[in-house]
Each structure stands twice: as C-alpha cells, then as structure tokens.
Amino acid sequence: MADRQKTWLRIVLWALVAAWMGLIFCLSAQAAQDSQQTSGRVIRWLLIHFDKSFLNLSPEEQILRIDDWSFVVRKLAHFVLFAVLGFLCFAAFSVDLPPRRAFPSALILGVARAVLDEVHQAFVPGRSCELRDVCIDSAGVLLGAAFLLLILHWIQRKKLKK
C-alpha cells in the first residue's frame, strides 16, 4: 500500500474510532431518565415491527412489555456498541501492526474505554458504575476485534490459494 493511501487509511480509521468513542461518551452522559426514554423508544419501535400483538395491547400492557424487554435491550446495546468499537480499534491498529500485536492492542484500548465509560456513568445523575457492564462491554470488544481478525484471516487464506 502506498504511503499516501496508508496515511489516509490511518486517519480515517482513527477518526472513526474517536467518533465512535464520542458517541459512547454522549450516550453515557445521558441522565438515567433520558437514557431510559431513549431505550423505551427503541424497544417500542422494535416491538411494533417484530411483535404483531404489541399494538393490540392496552397502553398499560404496552408499558409493561417495554419494561420486560428493557434490561435485555440495554445490555445488548452495550455489547453492540463495544463490538463496533473493538472492530474499529483492531482495524485502526492493523494499519501499522501485525495482527498478533494489533489484536491485544485493540482489546486493551477497548476494555480501557469500557472501564472509563462505567466510571463516567458513576458521575451521571441516576446512573451507576457496574462491573457487569464492563464485562459485557469487554466481551463486545473481544467479539468485534475477533470478527475482523477472522475476516482478515479468511481474506489472507483466499489470497494464498490463488
């Protein structure tokens, strides 16, 4: 890869990492009530589109259904946000490092961001710092980075076969 292309790729990937970390920060900075409302809107949209019986429920029953799904969706959101972060971190480190060094570097950066995210939430009204969320976030980072590692490995094997 030409130096100019590599430089642009490095800039774009690290900008994406920074932007994604900024999104995580903004979501974590929401007060508990605002965060719950955002989650509620997402869950409501999902239920309307994937649970045909949802709109037939009374407003009170709809609220209960949304509450039932709240924990799962919120934890899944943690996982997915950090899986994308792991993917982006591994991609950014891979520009300059071989996979055996880029992978642990991505994990360290992603897990450090997960820890900082939870510490940050300790100072947000109504939010808390939870070890469980650090574990969920870290698992997301691991999966995201591993997914890209597998893709790169598969591409490399295809190239070698040709």
What's the CA gap between 144 and 89, in Å, rounded?
9
Average pLDDT over residues 12-30: 97
User: Is pLDDT above 90 for 10?
Assistant: yes
The per-residue pLDDT for 158 is 85
Average pLDDT over residues 142-152: 96
What's the CA gap between 89 and 56, in Å, rounded?
44
Chain position carrying tokens 């295809």: 158
C-alpha distances in angstroms, 22 versus 11, 66, 118? Answer: 16, 28, 14
Share of the chain above pLDDT 90, in %: 89
The per-residue pLDDT for 132 is 96
Burial of 67-85, coded b for 16+ CB within 10 Å and e otherwise, reads eebeeebbeebbbebbbbb
What's the CA gap between 47 and 18, in Å, rounded?
32
Chain position carrying tokens 């076969």: 161
- Kindly report, residue by residue over 112-126, the tens digit of the pLDDT: 999 999 999 999 999
The per-residue pLDDT for 2 is 81
Chain position carrying tokens 């992603």: 110
User: Is pLDDT above 80 for 140?
Assistant: yes
Both tokens assigned to 40: 């509620």
The per-residue pLDDT for 1 is 66
What's the CA gap between 32 and 12, in Å, rounded?
33
Chain position carrying tokens 């969320």: 133
